[in-house]
Copies of this chain bind each other. A is one copy, B any other.
Amino acid sequence: MIGLHTGRTGMSDTEDLKSAARLSRDDRIRAILVAARGVLARKGYEAFLTTDVADVCRISEGTIYRYFPTKRDLLIRVAEDWFAEVIALEPKTPRSQGTQEQLKHFIAHCLAVVRKEPSLTRFILLELRSDPAYRSMRVFELNRQFTSKVVKVLRDAVESGEIRNDVPLPLLRDMVFGGLEHATWAYLRGEGDFSTENVAAGLARVIYRGMAAHPAAARYDELAGVIDRLEAIAETLGGR
């Protein structure tokens, strides 16, 4: 009576071998989530079928609905868990780095995340973000948490006087994430690719340069020569 749904999986994925046994509630949930993430990653959310998940888990569809009220709920849970992992696994930026470097590193990290899981990214960007209930979802909170890294770096810089305060931080955040998202769409569409380095460096540079309190200091090298000479002269003259 077990395994009626076999024989039609058709796709000898790796997940195919596990389970088939009676699992504890938590283990089953975990197994379903793993399977669902796989299906989502492979097929994209438009083609996501609960049947596929059941097949991979070697359980009946009914079992999925024992734990998830709705296909959409399952999908949301997958996205949330993934997002939470992403945040948890986020590499700590060395505190020693400068603001711009920190920005760049974080952006590069985001781009790596997108590159690794385009389907998950697409799902969140296209399905969840546009949902009227988005703000009440955990993904929203997680996203807030995730993007707040940028805000924090910038706020610190504002407080230390390193950058200006004449543009709202949320807007800067939007430029960062909007910019990286746009730079990424061709890849998400399955077409081209993007240069993590270039995008990260470019975004960080524009944001930082655009907000730097002391552009002279910020790009000291560019002006250092001129200023040095001017100051030398001034001193010479004044010292007389």
Contact = CB atoms under 8 A, between A and B. Distances in A.
A149 to B, nearest CB: 16
A134 B199 CA distance: 22
Q: Interface extent on A, as a size class?
A: 35 or more
A73 B3 CA distance: 11
A234 B230 contact: yes
A183 interface: yes
A138 B182 contact: no
B179 A199 contact: no
A183 to B, nearest CB: 5
A183 B172 CA distance: 10
B138 A5 contact: yes
Given A130-B122, A229-B234, A174 B168 contact: no
Nearest to A66: B2
Contacts of A75: none
A231 B238 CA distance: 11
Interface stretch (A14-22, A91-99, A210-218): A210-218
A106 interface: no
Given A171-B199, A205-B210, 12 more contacts: A2-B67, A5-B138, A132-B189, A167-B205, A172-B202, A174-B178, A207-B210, A210-B210, A214-B222, A215-B222, A216-B223, A226-B231
